[in-house]
Amino acid sequence: MDDHSPRDDADAQALAPTSAPRVYETPPKERPITDAEAARAAQLAANEHIKIASGYLRGGLAEGLLKHATGAISEDDGQLVKFHGMYMQDDRDLRPERTKKKLDKAYSFMIRLRIAGGVISPKQWLALDDIAVTYAGSALRATTRQTFQYHGVIKSNLKRTMAAIDAALLDTIAACGDVNRNVMAATNPAQVGAHKAAHTLAKDISDSLLPKTSAWREIWLDGERVVGGEEEAEVEPVYGRTYLPRKFKVVVAVPPSNEVDIFAHDLGFIAILDKKNQVTGWNVTVGGGMGMTHGEPDTFPRTADVMGFVKPEDAIKVAEAVMTVQRDWGNRKNRKNARLKYTIERYGLAAFRAEVETRIGKKLGEPKPFTFTNNGDRFGWTEGDDGRHHLTLYVPSGRIKDYEDGPQFLTGLRKIAEVHEGDFRLTANQNVIIANVPGAKRAEIEALVDQYGITKGAGALRRNSIACVALPTCGLALAESERYLPSLMTELEESLATHGLAEEEITIRSTGCPNGCARPFIAEIGLVGRGPERYHLYLGAAFDGSRLGKLYKEDVAASDIRDTLDPLFADFAKGRKPGEHFGDYLIRAGHVARTINGPDFHDRTGALKPAGHA
């Protein structure tokens, strides 16, 4: 599909006659409030006060680490520590028993790394493996943000863990928090020149938009404080004292693959390639985002707009301009409406683009045509156009560990890292690529993969699946996700097989809550936790990640999901057109309404006609 907007133009035009013209607000002209008294008077969100008082993200973290009576830190520091790449969590499986015994919760920390573009060396892989074995329960997790995170690191081991990460020439700065987070990039190993350009841009954006505070090094590595010792001696030239209103996510895509889900993020760059697969410039997308809140229709996921085209030399300036406009225009009173998607809905894309152009000192070009065909990974071996070889491995939910009587991911990949001469790449779909393997080394790598039972692929449904962590560690989870999705897929695979659809490519994603970390709203089958063993079921998204799904059924019991989908699979098998994807069919056949974009996400929900009528 040649689609320079995530929307379907015909549908947008069909809606136009019945839709009243949008009236947008006038954007603010002032920079964000940084005075504590003024922030209180303006009734800014609590996190704004925490940031203002933090002394550039220091807060009481250094002192809190010395309090050994508890494994926790203070509530305010729990917000600040996110900027350092961490979340405080507890094991919710253990909560009932510990509460019964009047014990403190089993607190620990999730630590997320900053790895722009998801590329690391074999030496770094071995260092991260050692950290996992020593401090994090012998498991690494490849995330949907194309990086690694550790779970279960206790407070007394935080500084040791951070020192080990630093020794590997990596860090966790800005992996979470109200800042630009880990920048994702296409990994396509067949397009070597384009991948290099995408990875370079991701790394340059990551470095350019990195917070400049020295707090991370001071607190975790016992570094020296800035001369003068007070915040007057330190500045954040881009962020200021209050950083951003909410998180900010940047991705770089290389067509025809949309593996990074460009339309699900705040800011994106789509490579425009010449006939030799070299990048001539970038289409810029703005205003995507997945999170929402159940029962609050003024919150919604949104697909990004294609705002314009930039030459390679202007991409970094555009990235900073987009982020600083969001810094100045974003909602700092209500965090639920603070992401860039709401800023654009509030002030309009035209005004936003005009302000970006003012800040970069030139006009953006008009978007160039491009085509996406999917948002999944290529599994198995691929030969790049430079003759080097790349092996994409399927890692269920990104959990790199040794499974009893199953794949030995941790041990096997460690053995591979000991002999690998290229690099490793994480994908946005939680998988791992053993990249840049010389032809002479391919057989050795293949033998190790087979020896340790590492999966080089999976069935069609699993190949296109993502799940967030959810229970037991995520404090926001309402339902299971990572631990539940494999058994559900087994049920659905059986159902698909009975209808002759076993090898049909269908995207399926699951999250334990509506924050949408596994991007479920942009999957053809999206499951979003509502409570223990209950999910909202979303259907009708596009296979290439360009269109949101629609709520098909509320509060579906886990035991009823297969029975709900089975008749739709039957209809699809009978009524689809050649090459038609599941999400597109459900809309064409009238089972579910098409979502044009975020504001109509909550309109015309539910099943439009009974299944079983192909």
Write out pLDDT tens, residues 225-244.
654 445 555 789 999 999 99
SS3 labels along 103-136: CCCCEEEEEECECHHHEECHHHHHHHHHHHHHHC
The amino acid at 255: P
User: CB neighbours of 447 closer than 8 A, spacing ≥ 6?
Assistant: none
| Active-site residue, 176 included | no
User: CB neighbours of 249 closer than 8 A, spacing ≥ 6?
Assistant: 145, 180, 181, 184, 265, 266, 267, 289
Q: How far apart are CA 254 and CA 184, in angstroms?
A: 12
Burial class for 457, CB neighbours closer than 10 Å (0-12, 13-18, 19+): middle
Q: Is 176 one of the annotated binding-site residues?
A: no
| Residue tagged active-site, from 517, 550, 553, 594 | 517
Q: Which two tokens stand for residue 168?
A: 């590997």
Q: Which two tokens stand for residue 311?
A: 């030459």
Q: What is the pLDDT of residue 16?
A: 41
| Residue tagged active-site, from 7, 51, 105, 181 | 181
Contact 565, 581 (CB under 8 A): no
- Helices of type H across 5-92: 9-15, 36-41, 46-53, 61-64, 75-80
| Residue tagged active-site, from 58, 176, 513, 547 | 513
Kind of pairing between the strands at 140-142 and 119-120: unpaired
Q: How far apart are CA 214 and CA 207, in angstroms?
A: 15
SS3 labels along 217-247: HHHHHCCCCCCCCCHHHCCCCCCCCCCCCCC
- Helices of type H across 245-395: 315-329, 340-347, 349-360
| Residue tagged active-site, from 112, 241, 425, 550 | 112
User: Which pTM was predicted?
Assistant: 0.94
| Active-site residue, 100 included | no
Q: What is the pLDDT of residue 386?
A: 85
| Residue tagged active-site, from 327, 468, 550, 594 | 468
How far from the centroid of its chain's Cα atoms is residue 365's Cα? Answer: 28
Q: How far apart are CA 107 and CA 586, in angstroms?
A: 44
Residues of the chain with pLDDT under 70: 1-20, 224-233, 613-614
* Kind plus residue range of the DSSP H or E element containing 437: strand 432-437
Q: What is the pLDDT of residue 190?
A: 75
| Residue tagged active-site, from 249, 414, 425, 462 | 249
Q: Which two tokens stand for residue 320?
A: 């900073």
Q: How many angstroms separate the Cα of 30 from the Cα of each of 27, 240, 243, 327, 329?
A: 9, 13, 15, 11, 9
Q: How far apart are CA 614 and CA 607, in angstroms?
A: 14
Q: What is the pLDDT of residue 19?
A: 53
Overall size of the chain counted in residues? 614
| Residue tagged active-site, from 327, 353, 399, 474 | 474
| Active-site residue, 247 included | yes
Closest CA to 331 of 319, 322, 341, 321: 341
Closest CA to 475 of 530, 526, 512, 520: 512
Q: How many angstroms separate the Cα of 212 from the Cα of each of 217, 236, 237, 350?
A: 11, 6, 8, 31
Q: How far apart are CA 564 and CA 583, in angstroms?
A: 15
Domains of the chain: 192-360 (3.30.413.10), 380-454 (3.90.480.10), 462-589 (3.30.413.10)
Q: What angle do CA 539, 252, 310 make, to 5 degrees?
A: 115
Q: Which two tokens stand for residue 373?
A: 């065909």
Contact 295, 222 (CB under 8 A): no
Contact 118, 147 (CB under 8 A): yes
| Residue tagged active-site, from 7, 247, 353, 519 | 247
